[in-house]
């Protein structure tokens, strides 16, 4: 078992702002995986990680944008 996995961060990772609030969308994969993981982190360090993975980093970004649009950014900001 190799415990030295390296993470690749997507260039599509970014901050998304809505209603003057922001979250960081992080898209990444290990060097051993073909698919991308999605995580949204708020200003308090709380994170939401999707259970499923995505075939492309663009698909992961679109999922994040859709979720924030449909649920509102407050759904991803903890207190």
Q: Is the pTM of this model over 0.85?
A: yes
Whether the Cβ atoms of residue 37 and residue 60 lie closer than 8 Å to each other: yes
The DSSP secondary-structure symbol of 76 reads G
Count of residues making up the chain: 79
Instruction: Check pLDDT > 80 for residue 62.
Output: yes
Longest dimension (CA), the chain: 45
Whether the Cβ atoms of residue 70 and residue 60 lie closer than 8 Å to each other: no
The 10s digit of each residue's pLDDT in 44-55 is: 999 999 999 999
């Amino acid at each position: 078992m190799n415990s030295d996995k390296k993470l690749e961060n997507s260039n599509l990772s970014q901050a998304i702002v809505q209603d003057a609030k922001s979250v960081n969308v992080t898209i990444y994969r290990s060097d051993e995986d073909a698919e991308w993981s999605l995580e949204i982190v708020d200003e308090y360090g709380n994170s939401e990680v999707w259970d499923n993975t995505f075939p492309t980093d663009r698909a992961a970004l679109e999922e994040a944008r859709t979720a924030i649009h449909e649920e509102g950014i407050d759904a991803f900001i903890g207190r």
